[in-house]
Each structure stands twice: as structure tokens, then as C-alpha cells.
Structure 1
Amino acid sequence: MAKVKIQLTNREISWLYFNERVLQEAADISVPLIERIRFLAIFSSNLDEFYRVRVPTLSKLSNINEKAKELLGYNPKKIIKEIKEIVVNQERRFDDLYENGIIKELEEERIFIINERQLNVKRGEFLRSYFRDKLLSTLVPIMLNENKPFPELRDRAIYFFVRLSKKDKKEKSQYSLIEIPLKSLERFIVLPETNNLKYIILLDDIIRYCLDDIYFIFEYSSIEAYSIQLTRDAELTLDTSISEKFIDTLTKSLQKRKKGKPMRLLYDNNMPLTMLNYLVAKLDLTADGLIPGSRYHNFRNFISFPNVGRAELEYHKDAPLPVKDLDLGKSIFSQIAKRDYLINLPYQSFDYIIHFLREAAIDPKVTEINITLYRLAANSRVINALINAAKNGKKVNCLVELKARFDEQNNIYWMNKLEEEGVNVSYGLQDYKVHSKICLVTRMEKGKAVYYASLATGNFNEKTSKLYADHSIFTTHQGIGNELKRLFRGLDKKVFYDDYKFLVVSPLETRNKVYGLIADEIKNQAQGKPAFIILKMNSLADEAMIGKLYEASNAGVKIQLIVRGMCCLIPGIAEMSKNIEVISIVDKYLEHARVWVFGNGGNEKVFLSSADFMTRNLDQRVEVGFPILDAEIKKELLDIIHIQLLDNTKAREINASNTNRYHRTDEGVKHRAQIDIYTYLKNKLLS
């Protein structure tokens, strides 16, 4: 059969269709109303990051020659135009959903979001007093002058672009900018309740209401203010050598990030054309970077929208379940020594990981702790446990990845804190991010070093552990322990080892080992043995890996994929991917786990990993995958995966037309994976 050219969805376009699925959650009337507002916030925050990271890369590629475009496989300029078309349409749906859907449904709940034009005298007096007490001193308007440079607008900050007009139209209008102080004040102000009616006003509208108090020294006949938000290129250009000099370079680069090249200007669609033209002339923006929006920007703040109504307007918060037979009231090491344990977050508690680290910190037999840290909580109990271990005389080796995007500043802080307390801190590796989620505790038992390991698909972060669906295992398997010890030794020496028997480690081995596992399924299929592949991940974008999956599909291997975010693979194409199905689950928790299942002739091989199937995860990061060797844990993970494959409530199909159609399995029975998994784990406690 002639070789068929691989067909792919562009990764940036695929990502936008993922964000469309987030918008679908905001539109789903079965989702509690306050949660729908939060999905709007997530959509907005996602889009901000998209314009800070992905669009700048395309912009830099847009001037390459035709030969380079052929090698790239697409025309960046065309993709940028397609992005704008999709984003403008999504923003329109977003605005319509908020203004004609969410607002009206809040009103049915006797909750009213009002603006400055809807204030009666009493509320007006209340807000005028609030403005003068809390707001006025924080506002510093910048008067714009043709003879002076246009001020630098901060990345993602909201500004009012203000016009002061005079009666005599021959006189020029005066323009001004005011930054809305969202970092220091709450975005939403709850007004005094009236007749059991709740009223909320945005900080933006309080400022609009009190513009006269800001510009009282100027002569004008009318004053108007329109929201604008500039999104800048947030990619860092760094000297990649990891040293003390690197810390200084990174710190300076974080400051430069605030002044990166403008990528997108989101503006109030009601702004007069003369004002918009003024801004365009002053800012270095192309037409593709102009995105019309509503009067409110920076919707990511709506993640903290207050629920002043019924408890049912939010998701019920299920209490984390205990892990069967793993007792937090006893030594966790003594229990792990007997068998492996699986923690399914957020259905089960992150406290097990904290307990593991705390016990390591005080156990007299523990001599050493090695750990990699990528993203940490603001008040990290993980850090506290590691510091306590160092104070108790343990050798604590901590690799903090300083290049974790948008967590750089936070990680510099924790690095300094750890060093101050006597922890041995490594900054990472040249040219590679350390994205693995591994911890190894060395314990001396009868004069011999015994290894206790924690390996996970998600970060050592107690905050995200309540929001992200991940898996973590505890094991004393000495083969895995020995290989982790070797891996940590390599990280310390800044070299890569290969030839692991149990672990699947990037950048040297993951790609080829996964290729081998896929090839085994093709061989099993040819020999008539049970053959299938089930993969779950956040993103699938690596072209060569997709090619291998297409090859397996053509050989008759059934492949089921669960991909939350971008998916460049196109399923269901004859002579390429007819045996591949892809779903994406977007629900109240962020699906973050990476799980690989291979049929292996009827004796399934199951792996967990920190790696997505993106080129960076396979070739340019330190990632760790690990086999599930305990039969009971393997069965539990397979059960959970099959529950997810049955989802017909929150799962969408990924297909060639990118319609995000809801995945329907059994029309007679409702399956919602995140609810069903909690029920499954709860029932296991009773068995």
C-alpha cells in the first residue's frame, strides 16, 4: 500500500477548539450557575495565556520564506488570520452568553449585577463614599500628550481609555488612561441587600460612576471611558546555562516580560472609531491583534465571583475519600513496606503525600530525601516538610525547576527559602526543563538502604491537588527505587542516563520505548492476540508519535484516546485512523493524568507518566513514566479508565470537523466519569 501523507490538525487551532469546550461548560445549563461564571473566567484566562505564549511564536515565524513554510507544514500568517476569526467568534458567543444568559439567570436568583447607570440615590451615595475611602487614592490618571511618548501598558492590566470632550467641537478632546487597581482591591463589591434582593457591582463601574471626582480640575462637557486590555509576548529569552548568573538573568527577564511585544488589544466594541484609531496609531499592533469585546475585560477575575445566593449555585464539594487500608494514624512507611498504594486525586486526599514527607522528616532511620519540584502552592506544606527534614539532620536534595512558565518568580522565592534553611537546592538543567514528579526517601533498615518512592502524574502542590485529577503511587519496589536513585544522581551531575528497566525517562528513552510498545501491539494484532492501546493525556501534538498511532490503526489495532487539550491527531480517516477514537473530558476537575495502557496479548501493561505526547515532553524535558506492577492497583486504574471511556455527559468527540460534539455511548444510561469515579472509590471502601 502506498504511503499516505500524515494528516494533522494545526496545534494552535486544536488548542482553540479545546478552549471552545471550556466555553461549552459555561453554556451548559446543567452546570451550577456560579460554576458557569467560573468557566467563563477559565476560558478568558486560557485565551490570555494563548496570546502571551502561542501567538508570539507564530508572529515570529510569520516572516519566514516559502521553503521554510514548506518544512514547517503550514503558513504562519494564514494560521494567525484563522486564529483571529475563531477568537472573534468565540468572544461574541462569550459576550452573548454573559449578557443574555448568565446575567438573566442571576436575576432569576434575585442576584443583580448592576452598572453605574442603574444606581439609585442611596446606592450612589454608598458607592461614592466607598470610592473616596478605598479607591480614589489608588488611581493615578495619565494625561496623554502628543508631544510625549505613549505610556507602556502593562501586560493583561485593565485600563480605562478616557475621552474628555468640550462643547466647542473645534477644540481637541483630551485623552487619558487609568489603570484599574485589581491587584489591591476586590473586583466585585456586594451592595447592601434590599427586599431580599442581592446587588453586585464591578469595580470598573464604580470608577465610571465617579469619573468626575478624578478629572474635576479639567474643563469638559462630557466624559466617557472604555475598557482596554493589552496582552504581550510572555516568552522569555534566556541564557540557558544554569548558574547564579542565570537567577539574575531570569529575574531581569521576568521584568521584561511585562514589556513584551503587544500581541492583542482587547477593546470595548462600543468605543468610537476615532478613539480606536488613536490607540492603533500609538501601539505596535497589526489588524490581527485587534479583538473587539464587551465593556468588561480580564474575566479571569470572575473565578472569584461571590456566591451570595443558594448553595446549589456551586458544585457540591465532596469530602476526599480515604485510601482503602492506608491509615493516616499509623506509620505510612510501615504500610508502604508491605504493598504499593495508589492515590487518586482529588477524589482522595493529598494529605497522604504530606504525611509521607512529614514522616520522612522526623523518622530517625531516614537519611536522605530527593525530590523534583515544578509548581508549588503559595503556602506550601511540601516545602515546610522538606525544611523540617533538613533541620532534623536529613540530607535533602531538592531540584526546583526555575523555568516553569509563569511560576518562575514563585519558584525563585522557594529556592531561596530552601537554601536559607539548609536544603541542597539545584536550579535545573541547561536546555531542559525537569517536569517529572518524583520523590525518593532513603531509609536505613538493618544496615541496608531501603528506598521508599512517591511517583505522580501531577505536581507536589496541595492547592491544585483539589482541582486536578491526577494519580500518585507509593512503592518500595527496589528496582524502581534503584533506578530513581540513579536518575537523581544523573540530575545532580547534570547528565542523562539511559537503559532503565522499569522507568520510562525523557529525553533519551520515552519516545523509543513508546514506539516499541506500539510495535508490540501491531505484532500482537498480526498474530491474532488481544491488541489494543488506550492513552490518556493533556496534549497530543508530536507528529512522529501520531504517525506511529496511525500505523497501528492501519494494522487493525483498536486505539482509544482521552485527550483533554490540543489533539493534532485526526481520528476516523480511511487508510489512516479509522480504528482510532478520541474523546475529551471537560468537567468540574481538570483532567491532568497521563495513563498508558497496552493490550500486551491479554496481560495489559499499564504506565503512569508526567509526560504528554508533545515533542518537548519526549525530547526536551526530563519526564518520568513508571509501570504499575501491583495487580490490584492495575485493575483499579483500568476500571477508572473504562469509566472515563463510558462518559456520555462531559466527554466530547474529537473529530475532523472539530465540532466538539458530545460523546454518546448508551443513551439509556447517564455516565459522568468524575461523579462515577468518586462513587466507584467510595464503594471500594465498603467491599
Structure 2
Amino acid sequence: MSKQKPLLTNREISWLYFNERVLQEAADKTVPLIERIRFLAIFSSNLDEFYRVRVPTLSRLSNINTKAKEVFGYNPKKIIKQIKNIVVKQERKFNHLYEDEIIKELAQEKIFIINEYQLNVARGQFVKKYFKDKLLSTLVPIMLDESKPFPELKDRAIYFLVRLINKDAPEKARYSLMEIPTKSLERFIVLPETNHLKFIILLDDVIRYCLDNIYFIFDYDTIEAYSIQLTRDAELDLDRSVSEKFIDTLTKSLQKRKKGKPMRLLYDNNMPLDMLTFLVDKLDLDSDALIPGNRYHNFKDFIAFPNVGRPELEYEKDPPLEILNLDMGKSIFTQIAKRDYLINLPYQSFDYIIHFLREAAIDPKVVEIDITLYRLAENSRVINALINAARNGKRVNCLVELKARFDEQNNINWTKRLEEEGVQVNYGLLDYKVHSKICLITRKEKGKVSYYANLATGNFNEKSARIYCDHSLFTTHPEITAELKRLFKGLDKKVFYKGYNCLIVSPLETREKVGLLIDAEIKNAREGKPAYMILKMNSLADEDIVQKLYDAGAAGVKIQLIIRGMCTLVPGVEGLSENIEVISIIDRYLEHARVWIFANGGDEKIFLASADLMTRNLDHRVEVGFPILDPNIRKEIRDIINIQLKDNTKAREINSLNNNRYKPKGKVSYRAQTDIYTYLKYKK
């Protein structure tokens, strides 16, 4: 007899509700105008990834057998249709926000995004010259011919489907396909200012304006061009039977990704039906894959939309705060040896971590550096510090996770560079992603070995550290560092050890240990002792953990969850989850930290972790959770979490209605990200 599944919101549907919260930020008129455009770009980028990864998975599940619902607990085909319905509604809202609100509000700021029909003579001449000088040589129009196969469309590239019609023979219309070179050129062209009016035209419309300069050899009376974008299945199909080097295997799989199965065709909603029919027939697409959109695709490019107006149209950039009593003008090892320190990103500077690595690179006492790397900045100072350490004779052991989704090629490139410089590179584990964010420095001090560690909830990435909210801990605690050394030893040998006392490590122990921590709260609740949990994470989607939380809530444990993204748990259901509250904070920075707080009968336990409570993080990744042992840092984390729980400006309630309702305003307004910055700025 199969175990009854707990009440769950489907994870894909839950993710779409999360992306709706991103769209809410774009709709929020209290958000600076350029930032609202960037939230539209984030929404669009998120949706691209969703169709590259999640929808293909559902598509595969729907093809397994006719009993998919019995196997998975839901009907994948039904979910795919539900996804389309939600996405179409969201795209309509997106288009309304952009076309009916954002464009008009930009005009009020004397900023005009104009198209090819709105160019006067002077601006038209500027555009023609730009087209001739920078654009024409990059364009490769392909004439479509019934006798030739339809060209292979690249994943997420923008194309124009062009039609040329001669009025004397309209039935013999010619079709052409042309890729828009957005990767090699700026998407936005700032035109000469006139009378304090600012004008911006998109690369797409520059091409539309100059179509006659491309197709002049043909005899036509009218020419029209409509944007299309194909999103393909981006999951890697690694051939585990090959004996060649794993890095070469991955490189080949990345090439396959470019030709993955089509998942979504985003098309200009103004495209004539006969043109759309022609396209769908050529691509052999299912109707569920058709998503109508506006004339501009790859809206993610708008994250780089130029602010040619007032500074107030963007969020004011808050300078990174210093960490109290941690002086970058002195040896960071000397200071860490005396006490633990916590960096709260992005409010405090990632430079402390760079300083830690740079000092290790030149310190004569340092003999070894162990580090795991998941996502790296484009011009990584972390990599530079590690290379410098290797050049200075340190043994540098660097585990680069080559399977970090969409960063694979970048990580392959860094791997080759590190190896060239003498760094010992471990490519990770074939069946498990190494998602932990850990670094261990080994020093010889007075004939003895000492360890200095950095453990974090976010990546060693100075770029994302400016926009991701994470915690990063410096510690020399002997039990933590000894267990880290053991963990790195296992990673080097590609084996997993059990029996950690301090650390909570996936894939072998996290599920069990989190379960025991929840069980302890249930026991304490039944015995009348303090019993509560506060869990912050990106996503909650593991069925067994959700059931555990339901059990704890039913036993009287008060549970508060702060979840940015997916949440399959349904709070506030009578007889099941009355004691569980869930909020989601979406604001200018991306909430990325994982924090676990347990009442523990009055002697509170606090952990930070790299893992979300999802099946993949618990069972299929190398993750590290770690306790906060310093009482001052424990208080600091607790204060920050309390500030987030009070948020009534950017916090939404996750409820059974999935309506993303904002938390009710009280007499006092609280905005967590602003209040945390103020708290850290004036903290003594």
C-alpha cells in the first residue's frame, strides 16, 4: 500500500507564483522606474530558464507512461496546460506594464523608446549611419525555400521572420529568417538628444528601419518583420559510458544543449495568422508551446537598460559597510584567530573574503588552500588570488563544479586557466553537484598546524555578492575546521564520509539531521517546553520534509518560514497547518541565505547552510550546513531574521489561495532590506 502524499502545491506552479511576485515589483510604482524595467527583465530571464529546464522535465515525464499521475502524484500533461494558462496571463500583464505604464512614465521623464516609425529625418540619418557602420556586416539573412530544410534555430536567439510581398503576385510571397546579433552589439542605441528630450531605439527597430538596405535585390511592394524566439530543452544528457575525460564529455553535452527539443516559441502577437501557421508547420510545434508576446523578445537584455535620466530613477547605491572590529589594514588571520566574524552580504563588503584569500596567497605560514567553487564572476578576483597562491608555492586544491547550470562553459574555461597555473583542480563528482561554499586555509604556526575557515550560504562570486543577500562566516573553531578537512579529503577521494558532529552534510546526513531537529521540536512541544522553528531558504519542495513540518505544526510547534521561491507546503489549512506561516520577500536584493533556527527547549540552535530543503539538495548534492557558535553572531543573525519577519512592505504571504497578498500594513512600516542596512550601520 503506497504512502499517502501530503497536501502540496505543485512545484512548477509554485515557481510561477514566485515569478508573479517579481512581476509585482515591476508593477510597484514606489519602485524607481529604471528598476521596474529591470524587474521586467528578471521576470523574463526567469521564465526563459523555466522553459529551458522545468518544462522539458515535465515533457519527459508525460512521455513515460499513461500512469504518470499514479507515479508522480500529478498529471504532467495537465500541469503543462496549467503552466501555459498562467504564463499567457502573466505575459499579458507584462505587456500591459511595459506598453501602457513603463513607456508612458518614461515619456514623463522626457525619455522616449521610439521605434522605426517614429524617427524624424535627423534621427533617421543617424540610424542609417549606425546600421551601415556597425550592423550591416553582422547580419546573415537566410532565404527560406520549400526545397530546403528549415534552418536550425538557436536556443533563445532572437530572429526576424521576414515576408516580402509583391502586390501583383501576393501568393508568391518570399520568406526570410534573420538572427538579431544582440550578443555582439548593444541592444539599446542612445540617439542624439533634442531640446532636453532623450531618445532610445532598440537594435531590433534599427534593423526594421533598414530592411530595404538588406533585401533591395528583390522585387516587393511591402516588407514586414516579426520577432520570434525559440526556447529549447537545456538539461544535459551526459553519456556516463564514455571513458574520455569528463571535461570533454561535458563540453560535447553543452553543444547538444544548443539543439535541444523546442519547448516554447515566443512570437510577436501582431504576427499575421498565416505567417504564424507557416512557422509552426516548419518547426513542428505543439500548441502548448506557443506563447504570444510583444514585439521585443529576450527582454532579459533590459536589465542593462541605460539610465539617461535622473539618478532618482534607480535605487541609490548604498556603500558597503565595514564589519565592526575587522580591520582590512591588518592581518585577517590574526583577527580571526581571536574570534568568529560574520559578513552579511551585500550590506557588507565581499572584499573581506578577497582579503582573506590574498593574504593566504602571500603569507609564508600558509601551506595549503582548499576551496569549492560553484559560480564565478566573469573577471574573478577569487581565481586571481588562488593563482597567486599557486605561484607562491602554496598547494591549492580547487573543486570547480562543472555542472553548475548555465555556468558550465565559464567554469570549464576557469578550470583550464587554473590547471595552467599549477592549481590542483578537482572536477567534482559525476552523479552529485558540489554546491557547498567552503574554504579552508592551512597554516603552520610554531611547528603546529592551524586551520582558518570560511563557510557561506552563497558563492565565492564578487559580482553576485553585490546583489545577493547571503551570510559568510570566518571561524577557527577546531571541531568545524577538523570536519571541513575531513570533508575536503573525501571530496578529493570522491567518497562521502558520515559521522560529522558539527557540520550537516549532504548527501548522506542532511535529511536525517534536519528530521531529528524537527523531531526534537515536536517532543518539546508535547512536553510543554519552548518549541518553534524559523527556517529561511530559497525553496521548499521535499515531500518528506513538508510532511515533517505538517507533523510539527500539528503537534503545536510554531513554524515561521521565509521562502523566496518555490513553496510546495500549504500553510494555514485547518487541521493541518494552522501553526505554519510563510512569507516571501522580493526587493531590490535577491534573498539567497539559508538560515535554520530551532528553539531547542529554550537553548536556541542556529545553523547557516548552502542547501535548500529540496530533494536535490538533500540527496543529490554536496551541501554543508554549519552551526553558529559565537553568541554575538547568533544574536546578529537572530536580529536580522526578526527584522525580516516584521517586513510589511516587501513581504508577501504565501497562502492556500496563492494570491501573493502583501502582508498587512501596520501603524509602522517595516522594510527588511532597508532596516537591515540601518541595523548593521549603527550596530555597536
Give the TM-score normalised by structure 1. 0.98
In the TM superposition, residue 462 of structure 1 has moved relative to its aligned partner by: 0.3
In the TM superposition, residue 249 of structure 1 has moved relative to its aligned partner by: 1.2
1:662 aligns with 2:656: no
Task: Select between 533-542 and 521-530 the one with higher mean Cα deviation.
Answer: 521-530
Corresponding residue for residue 406 of structure 1: 406
Could you tell me whether the CA contact under 8 Å between 2:62 and 2:68 is conserved in 1? no
What's the secondary structure of 1:472's corresponding residue? strand
In the TM superposition, residue 246 of structure 1 has moved relative to its aligned partner by: 1.4
Distance in structure 2 (CA, Å) of the matches to 1:137 and 1:395: 49
Could you tell me whether the CA contact under 8 Å between 2:68 and 2:75 is conserved in 1? no
Corresponding residue for residue 500 of structure 1: 500
What's the secondary structure of 1:334's corresponding residue? helix
Distance in structure 1 (CA, Å) of the matches to 2:223 and 2:4: 63
Decide whether aligned partners of structure 1 residues 322 and 130 sit closer, same or farther in structure 2, where only a CA change above 3 A counts: same
Distance in structure 1 (CA, Å) of the matches to 2:421 and 2:243: 20
Corresponding residue for residue 416 of structure 2: 416
Decide whether aligned partners of structure 1 residues 291 and 462 sit closer, same or farther in structure 2, where only a CA change above 3 A counts: same
Corresponding residue for residue 33 of structure 1: 33
Corresponding residue for residue 6 of structure 1: 6
Corresponding residue for residue 345 of structure 1: 345
Corresponding residue for residue 311 of structure 1: 311
Corresponding residue for residue 123 of structure 2: 123
1:673 aligns with 2:646: no
Could you tell me whether the CA contact under 8 Å between 1:341 and 1:475 is conserved in 2? yes
Equivalent position amino acid for 1:615 in 2? T
Corresponding residue for residue 583 of structure 2: 583
Q: C-alpha offsets along residues 468-522 of structure 1, whole Å, 9 cap, x if unaligned? A: 0000000000100100000000001100001000000000000000000001111
Q: C-alpha offsets along residues 292-316 of structure 1, whole Å, 9 cap, x if unaligned? A: 0111111000000000000000000
Corresponding residue for residue 386 of structure 1: 386
Equivalent position amino acid for 1:667 in 2? G
Could you tell me whether the CA contact under 8 Å between 2:68 and 2:74 is conserved in 1? no
Distance in structure 2 (CA, Å) of the matches to 1:221 and 1:580: 65
Corresponding residue for residue 44 of structure 1: 44
Q: C-alpha offsets along residues 134-154 of structure 1, whole Å, 9 cap, x if unaligned? A: 111111100000000000011
Equivalent position amino acid for 2:597 in 1? V
Equivalent position amino acid for 2:643 in 1? I
Decide whether aligned partners of structure 1 residues 250 and 4 sit closer, same or farther in structure 2, where only a CA change above 3 A counts: closer
In the TM superposition, residue 681 of structure 1 has moved relative to its aligned partner by: 0.2
Could you tell me whether the CA contact under 8 Å between 2:428 and 2:434 is conserved in 1? yes
Equivalent positions of 1:109-188 (< 5 A) are 109-169=109-169, 171-188=171-188
Corresponding residue for residue 511 of structure 1: 511
Corresponding residue for residue 19 of structure 1: 19
Decide whether aligned partners of structure 1 residues 389 and 241 sit closer, same or farther in structure 2, where only a CA change above 3 A counts: farther
Q: C-alpha offsets along residues 228-273 of structure 1, whole Å, 9 cap, x if unaligned? A: 0000001100034898521111111111111111100000011011
Equivalent positions of 1:639-654 (< 5 A) are 639-654=639-654
Distance in structure 2 (CA, Å) of the matches to 1:421 and 1:368: 15
Equivalent position amino acid for 1:675 in 2? T
Corresponding residue for residue 233 of structure 2: 233
Equivalent position amino acid for 1:260 in 2? G
Q: C-alpha offsets along residues 144-172 of structure 1, whole Å, 9 cap, x if unaligned? A: 00000000011101001000001124541
Q: C-alpha offsets along residues 514-534 of structure 1, whole Å, 9 cap, x if unaligned? A: 000001111111111111000
Distance in structure 2 (CA, Å) of the matches to 1:195 and 1:242: 65
Distance in structure 2 (CA, Å) of the matches to 1:171 and 1:259: 33
Q: C-alpha offsets along residues 563-588 of structure 1, whole Å, 9 cap, x if unaligned? A: 00010000001121110000000000
Decide whether aligned partners of structure 1 residues 243 and 496 sit closer, same or farther in structure 2, where only a CA change above 3 A counts: farther
Corresponding residue for residue 262 of structure 2: 262
Q: C-alpha offsets along residues 395-432 of structure 1, whole Å, 9 cap, x if unaligned? A: 11000000000000000011111100011000001200
What's the secondary structure of 2:212's corresponding residue? helix
Q: C-alpha offsets along residues 526-558 of structure 1, whole Å, 9 cap, x if unaligned? A: 111111000000000000000000000000100
How many residue pairs were aligned? 682
Distance in structure 1 (CA, Å) of the matches to 2:230 and 2:599: 49
What's the secondary structure of 2:172's corresponding residue? coil
Corresponding residue for residue 481 of structure 1: 481
Equivalent position amino acid for 2:279 in 1? L
Task: Select between 81-90 and 119-128 the one with higher mean Cα deviation.
Answer: 119-128
Corresponding residue for residue 273 of structure 2: 273
1:216 aligns with 2:216: yes
Distance in structure 1 (CA, Å) of the matches to 2:196 and 2:31: 24
In the TM superposition, residue 122 of structure 1 has moved relative to its aligned partner by: 1.0
Q: C-alpha offsets along residues 303-338 of structure 1, whole Å, 9 cap, x if unaligned? A: 000000000000000000000000000000000000
Could you tell me whether the CA contact under 8 Å between 1:240 and 1:431 is conserved in 2? no
Corresponding residue for residue 571 of structure 1: 571
Distance in structure 2 (CA, Å) of the matches to 1:594 and 1:90: 29
Distance in structure 1 (CA, Å) of the matches to 2:93 and 2:584: 21
1:54 aligns with 2:49: no
What's the secondary structure of 2:682's corresponding residue? helix
Distance in structure 2 (CA, Å) of the matches to 1:217 and 1:305: 35
Corresponding residue for residue 438 of structure 1: 438
Could you tell me whether the CA contact under 8 Å between 2:368 and 2:396 is conserved in 1? yes
Distance in structure 1 (CA, Å) of the matches to 2:32 and 2:594: 28
Mind listing any 5+ residue stretches in structure 1 that lack a counterpart?
none
Could you tell me whether the CA contact under 8 Å between 1:374 and 1:459 is conserved in 2? yes
Equivalent position amino acid for 2:416 in 1? N
Could you tell me whether the CA contact under 8 Å between 1:586 and 1:650 is conserved in 2? yes
What's the secondary structure of 1:215's corresponding residue? coil
Equivalent position amino acid for 2:200 in 1? I
Distance in structure 2 (CA, Å) of the matches to 1:243 and 1:371: 27
Distance in structure 2 (CA, Å) of the matches to 1:305 and 1:363: 43
What's the secondary structure of 2:596's corresponding residue? strand
Equivalent position amino acid for 1:474 in 2? F
Could you tell me whether the CA contact under 8 Å between 2:144 and 2:177 is conserved in 1? yes
In the TM superposition, residue 61 of structure 1 has moved relative to its aligned partner by: 1.1
Corresponding residue for residue 252 of structure 1: 252
What's the secondary structure of 2:67's corresponding residue? helix
RMSD of equivalent CA atoms: 1.1
Distance in structure 2 (CA, Å) of the matches to 1:242 and 1:451: 39
What's the secondary structure of 2:162's corresponding residue? strand
Equivalent positions of 1:293-308 (< 5 A) are 293-308=293-308
Corresponding residue for residue 326 of structure 1: 326
Distance in structure 2 (CA, Å) of the matches to 1:105 and 1:308: 14
In the TM superposition, residue 94 of structure 1 has moved relative to its aligned partner by: 0.2
Could you tell me whether the CA contact under 8 Å between 1:496 and 1:508 is conserved in 2? yes
Decide whether aligned partners of structure 1 residues 488 and 126 sit closer, same or farther in structure 2, where only a CA change above 3 A counts: same
Distance in structure 2 (CA, Å) of the matches to 1:419 and 1:130: 43
Provide the identity percentage.
77
In the TM superposition, residue 601 of structure 1 has moved relative to its aligned partner by: 1.1
Q: C-alpha offsets along residues 91-126 of structure 1, whole Å, 9 cap, x if unaligned? A: 000001000000000000010111000111111111
In the TM superposition, residue 59 of structure 1 has moved relative to its aligned partner by: 0.7
What's the secondary structure of 1:441's corresponding residue? strand
Q: C-alpha offsets along residues 594-618 of structure 1, whole Å, 9 cap, x if unaligned? A: 0000001111100000000010000
Distance in structure 2 (CA, Å) of the matches to 1:346 and 1:680: 14
Distance in structure 2 (CA, Å) of the matches to 1:683 and 1:169: 76
Equivalent position amino acid for 1:176 in 2? S
Task: Select between 570-579 and 327-336 the one with higher mean Cα deviation.
Answer: 570-579
Distance in structure 2 (CA, Å) of the matches to 1:648 and 1:240: 50
What's the secondary structure of 1:176's corresponding residue? strand
Runs of 4+ displaced beyond 6 Å: none
Q: C-alpha offsets along residues 36-78 of structure 1, whole Å, 9 cap, x if unaligned? A: 0000000000000000000001111112334342120000000
Could you tell me whether the CA contact under 8 Å between 1:241 and 1:430 is conserved in 2? no
Equivalent position amino acid for 2:579 in 1? N
Corresponding residue for residue 631 of structure 2: 631
